[in-house]
Structure 1
Amino acid sequence: MLANPKRTKDEIVQWIRSYFESNGHGCDAVVGISGGKDSSVVAALCVEALGKERVVGVMMPNGEQPDLDDSKQLIEFLGIRYAYTDISKAVSAVSDQVALNMNVSDQTRINLPPRIRMATLYAISQSLPHGGRVANTCNRSEDYVGYSTKFGDSAGDFSPLANLMVHEVIQIGYELLLPINLISKTPSDGLCGKTDEDNLGFTYAHLDAYIMYGTSGIEEIDKKIASMHDHNLHKLNPMPAYGTTIF
């Protein structure tokens, strides 16, 4: 729990400003807008840091998507520019081409849309008149158990929420005065039809408790969290290179 959400919010805003001064002076922040709390908070932080004229929100539905109205709500609330790109044809085209050579696994079908979304964000970023930097919207809780797609939503140029757990992101959302329905929305990837907690097999409250105290209070869940963390470290560690120790 953040002792002083306003101070943390102000520190992140200043951190974003410093990042852009050093790594993207004059360019825009590009944020994939899902309509959930993470992308909403990141977009709002970028608006406060850079001004709404330097933030571009990108909606990337995979065909019909029920939470698209939430994305539109955030964009209108913040008053930012936006781009709309339906990725469904790209997803189908890549999947179909892979299927010519081998069976497409369920995991491939799950991970392909986030990777195409990230490629889309970089295509838009590089096409802006003054260039852009792509925001990573993952939080510490998701990163801890690898609940992200490698080179998909785990990618980006800067990561404002990487050191905030889910309940802390919610605190920042309230501090930013974002619409309550976006902050309290049940988290989901918008792709598989399940909530994030359904996919994980435990709640974010359990996960945050484990990160903070070393236990969720339930032994079976603790074992699952520890296993996921160890199994997914490859998503967080630097790419192994010859001449360095591989752990």
Structure 2
Amino acid sequence: MLDNPQATKEALIQWIRDYFNQNGPSCSAVVGISGGKDSTIVAALCKEALGAERVVGVLMPNGIQSDIDDAKTVVNHLGISHIIVNIGAAYEALTNAIIQGEGYEVVTGRNDLSRDAAINTPPRLRMATLYAVGQNLPNGARVANTCNGSEDYVGYSTKYGDSAGDFSPLANLVVEEVRQIGRLLDIPKYLVDKTPSDGLSGQSDEDKLGFTYAVLDRYIRTGQIDDLETKERINHLNRINKHKLELMPSFQPQR
């Protein structure tokens, strides 16, 4: 884990400043606020780097969000502007449009959304929402990606959903390192240690993955792992999900 979390925190803040100096000196940072540790920490880092007046939090419940109060606590504690956009109606409308689409049942052999589609559609709607909000801000915006390195390693994200964004402060930090940074920030500490969950499936991240972040973090950082089956599962997830972090491949004709 981090030998000097304070130095890393300061470097992260400077990295965000440098990014905006080069890619939008007057832009705001738009952060989707879920009420979990990652979005909370990213919002706090952006506030440190840019000032509260240049950070906008967007809360995006899908109908009813059980931990919406945590998200509200974040924006109120940080003193940043925020917008609440309930994507529930948009999700229902899109879902209905798909399953009622001409030829849908014939082509797919079903009259509903698959479990994966039902889980991944809301994050994609949320990303579209963040960019729409950003493009309506007076000085423009850059959208923060809030995924951490542990999630990225095993592909625990939605392609073109929460895996997207303009800049990614936590992409090279594993979960415990993110928590090390979080403990140094002026944020509610219970959110730093909150059980990670996608807020979509009703399960914790670790329940869905089948192993703990502590095991994953250790393996990523040291290559050490005690259970061979878990090692094989992590390697499999890493291999099949690499496409989520790679640029779209494109054909290059001979000139």
Cα distance between partner residues in 2 of 1:118 and 1:42: 16
Structure 1 stretches of 4+ moved >4 Å: none
Amino acid at match of 2:127: M
- Output the CA distance in 1 between the equivalents of 2:126 and 2:204: 19
Mark the runs of 5 or more structure 1 residues left unpaired by the alignment: none
State whether structure 2 residue 38 is matched by structure 1 residue 29: no
The 1-side partners of 2:45 and 2:213 are apart by: 22
The equivalent of 1:79 in structure 2 is: 79
Q: 1:187 aligns with which of 191, 196, 202?
A: 196
User: Which of 120, 128, 132 is the matching residue for 1:119?
Assistant: 128
Task: Give the structure 2 partner of residue 136 of structure 1.
Answer: 145
State the match for 1:168 in structure 2: 177
Counterparts of 1:106 and 1:216, CA distance in 2? 31
Is residue 57–residue 81 contact of structure 1 (8 Å, CA) maintained in 2?
Answer: yes
Report the counterpart of residue 54 of structure 2 in structure 1.
54
Equivalence map 1:98-247=2 (5 Å): 98-100=98-100, 101-102=104-105, 103=110, 104-243=113-252
Residues 203-243 of structure 1 deviation map (CA, whole Å, 9 limit, x = unaligned): 10011011012232111110000000000011112211102
CA contact (8 A) 1:60 1:117 kept: yes
TM norm structure 1: 0.97
Indicate the RMSD between aligned Cα atoms, in angstroms. Answer: 0.9
TM-score under structure 2 length normalisation: 0.94
Specify the structure having the higher radius of gyration (Cα): 2
Do 1:137 and 1:161's aligned partners in 2 also have CA atoms closer than 8 Å? yes
Q: In terms of mean alpha carbon deviation, does 48-57 or 186-195 score higher?
A: 186-195
Residue 93 of structure 2: aligned partner: 93
- By how many angstroms is 1:110 displaced? 0.5
- Change in Cα spacing, 1:185 to 1:131, as seen in structure 2 (3 Å) is same
How many residues in Structure 1 have an aligned counterpart in Structure 2?
Answer: 244
- Comparing 93-102 and 110-119, the one that deviates more: 93-102
Q: Tell me the percent identity.
A: 58
